[in-house]
Amino acid sequence: MLRARIAVFVSGGGTNLQALLDAEKDGKIPHGEIVLVVSGNAGAYALERASNAGVETAVVQKKDFPSQSAYENALIDVLTQKGIDLIILAGFMTILSADFTSRYPERIINVHPALIPSFCGEGYYGLRVHEAALKYGVKVTGATVHFVNEIPDGGRIILQKAVEVFEDDTPQTLQKRVMCQAEWILLPEAAELVSEKIVRSR
């Protein structure tokens, strides 16, 4: 069967990448195949996770390039060489420009650790999202997988899942629960949904 060729973009520990690799191994992404992991950080543990799974890796660091366009051209070269159909941002900490995202319409997806449109947009990433949720006093939070466009967290929503907030939560405990109960479930589901659509459009 034809499968969509997937590149996963990472910057850190790679827990969302691991969820994707495990889901693929368990047959939960039958229409997609992770063929490349691209890291914006040479020291990311996610690279080790990729190597352990036998997936090819590439390191493309923004700081190594004189401009955003030079950096993004290097990314495009890597993606083109591998014939990538779908890009998954899994804890990727670099904002991509409209020039880049417009090349891959509805072919880039991202997981955000809140229920968009709450606690999203520029500046909302990592623990900051959970700190904001707790400060606001919400009783329910969650995760969202969405398409990526030129607006941070602004693309069309693919899937969402709610997660309960507890009275004694810290940003760290809430982050862990949102990952376990929402992010690690939604991201493989969305990867399969979009991969199947890509395969069927051929």
Catalytic residue ranges: 112
Please report the beta strands in the chain, taking only residues with DSSP state E, as ranges in sequence order: 4-10, 32-39, 56-59, 86-89, 108-112, 140-147, 157-164
* Token output for 96: 């991509």
In whole angstroms, give the CA distance from residue 6 to residue 133.
32
Strands 140-147 and 108-112: antiparallel
The residues near 22 (Cβ < 8 Å, ≥ 6 apart) are: none
| Of 9, 1, 15, 143, nearest in space to 86 by CA | 9
In whole angstroms, give the CA distance from residue 157 to residue 53.
29
33 neighbors 54 (Cβ within 8 angstroms): no
